Structure 1
Amino acid sequence: MLVLALDTSTSTVTAGVVDLPESGAPVVRAQRVSAGARKHGELLMPHVLEACAEAGVALRDVDAIVTGTGPGPFTGLRVGMVTAAALGDALGTPVHGVCSHDAIAREACATRLSGNMVVVTDARRREVYWAGYDAEGYRITGPHVEAPAVLVERLAGFPSVAAAGEQAAVTGLPVIGPATPGPAGLVAVAADVLRAGTDPGPLRPLYLRRPDAVEPGARKRVSA
């Protein structure tokens, strides 16, 4: 099965073409990964097309699309999810959403950890997104959004041997890779449903915060 994997939940823009065999781990045929916190919209589709060209496939050859659903900041996260949804609609291809932290954890745990781990990414506003995982990369808690100091306090109740993600260092734990979701990790999270041919559920972004924009209130009365 040929899968297109996308993620824009972090400051990194990621696109890749991945082979998912009937059994075993996903194999990345081509990928494009660039740091660009404010260039998600500019970089994502060129990355998709470049990865397809390197892999020697056309977009119509893709059997499924997997996209990270966050947690992530509003604008960047929407770019990846909307692009995946638009491609799926245009190509008649199923689009599966997966938690971006799960993708980081699945790759990180390939190193065979001896205990729990946490994934920590930048939520801006002096906060981080984080989630806790067992040694196999399956989520136990989260994702949450909190100040780094609060996270460190919570880790006393969630003993861990390592941390991954772009903000992993705030935990004081040994840092392991990857820092951001990669194509192999994204597809690994969705592997079971992809192989089973399960219809994807609705794409739901993990913003974890209420939007800043609010409906305007009633107009103020101005006296003469």
Structure 2
Amino acid sequence: MLLLAVDTATPAVTAALHDGTKVLAESSRVDARRHGELLLPAVDRVLAEAGATLDAVTAVVTGVGPGPYTGLRVGLVTAATFGSALGVPVYGLCTLDGLAYAAGRDAGVTGPFVVATDARRKEVYWARYASPRERLTGPAVDRPADIAEQLAGLPAVGAGALLYPDAFPTVVPGAPEHVSAAALAALAAEKLAEGGDAGPAEGAFLPPQPLYLRRPDAQVPKNYKVVTPQ
């Protein structure tokens, strides 16, 4: 098994390789405006570091969001293209689930807790977890003040929580701010070892399609200006 994982749903442009037992290589760079420029070089780096070639990849894992419209699509289109070109399956995972899993693996978070990422427009994408692999509610998008009461007392993980300390006063020290492809790959490897597509309570694989929770900023004009001769 050789899993290639990518995610561009957050400002982190991240890629990783996993052999089913361990992470072989990973690359992450935080740059919210250059997802399209940075992802393929990141894939090249992890392949070179692992001493592997692209045709050795047996499956692709991609974060499906939630995330901003343009950045999110970069990772999904790249994953779909690799899957089609290589003839291998493409597995989708909720980006927030990857952050929750990493919080358990890297910061010892057990649960319950909440994961929040920056949704811009003074909102956060968020979900509540019973444990690093069990999501209770969400994902959803809301203004932090609107959900502060229902999440009161819960430890919080993610860049969204750091942005709004009034709503998320208990941020877990040492927990990741953004998702990493290494965490997504490790989570996918565990799920595949357990038999693949587990039930909803265990966080099933998702279709590799964008998880949008609101309409994009760009809108089709309602009234077109006439530019042809009358």
Question: Under TM normalisation by the shorter chain, which class is it?
Answer: 0.7 to 0.9
TM-score (norm: length of structure 1):
0.86
What is the SS of the residue equivalent to 1:154? coil
Post-superposition offset of 1:155 = 0.8
- 1:151 is matched with which residue: 147, 150, 171? 147
Counterpart CA distance in 1 for 2:48 and 2:186 is 23
Instruction: Indicate the residue corresponding to 1:208 in structure 2.
Output: 213
Post-superposition offset of 1:99 = 0.1
Alignment of 1:103-182 (within 5 A): 103-110=98-105, 111-113=107-109, 115-156=111-152, 159-160=153-154, 162-169=155-162, 170=164, 171-176=168-173, 177-182=175-180
Contact kept? 1:108, 1:137, Cα under 8 Å: no
Measured against aligned partners, the alpha-carbon deviations of 1:117-174 in whole angstroms (never above 9, x if no partner) come to 1111010011111111113431101011111111212213xx52x2111122221113
What is the SS of the residue equivalent to 2:117? strand
TM-score (norm: length of structure 2):
0.84
CA change 1:151–1:61 in 2 (3 A) is same
CA change 1:36–1:219 in 2 (3 A) is closer
CA change 1:186–1:217 in 2 (3 A) is same
Counterpart CA distance in 2 for 1:63 and 1:179 is 29
Alignment of 1:1-224 (within 5 A): 1-21=1-21, 27-110=22-105, 111-113=107-109, 115-156=111-152, 159-160=153-154, 162-169=155-162, 170=164, 171-176=168-173, 177-191=175-189, 193-195=191-193, 196=195, 202-217=207-222
Contact kept? 1:68, 1:98, Cα under 8 Å: yes
Contact kept? 1:112, 1:135, Cα under 8 Å: no
Contact kept? 2:7, 2:75, Cα under 8 Å: yes
Which amino acid letter does the alignment assign opposite residue 122 of structure 2? R
Post-superposition offset of 1:191 = 3.0
What is the SS of the residue equivalent to 2:146? helix
Measured against aligned partners, the alpha-carbon deviations of 1:83-142 in whole angstroms (never above 9, x if no partner) come to 000011111111101000000101112344453011110100111111111134311010
Instruction: Indicate the residue corresponding to 2:202 in structure 1.
Output: none
Q: Which runs of 5+ in 2 are unaligned?
A: 198-204
Post-superposition offset of 1:59 = 0.6
Counterpart CA distance in 2 for 1:193 and 1:130 is 22
Post-superposition offset of 1:183 = 2.5
CA change 1:38–1:138 in 2 (3 A) is same
Would you say how many aligned residue pairs link Structure 1 and Structure 2? Answer: 212
Q: Which runs of 5+ in 1 are unaligned?
A: 22-26
- What is the percentage of aligned positions where both structures have the same residue? 50
Counterpart CA distance in 1 for 2:113 and 2:212 is 22
What is the SS of the residue equivalent to 1:155? coil
Which amino acid letter does the alignment assign opposite residue 60 of structure 1? D
Post-superposition offset of 1:188 = 3.4
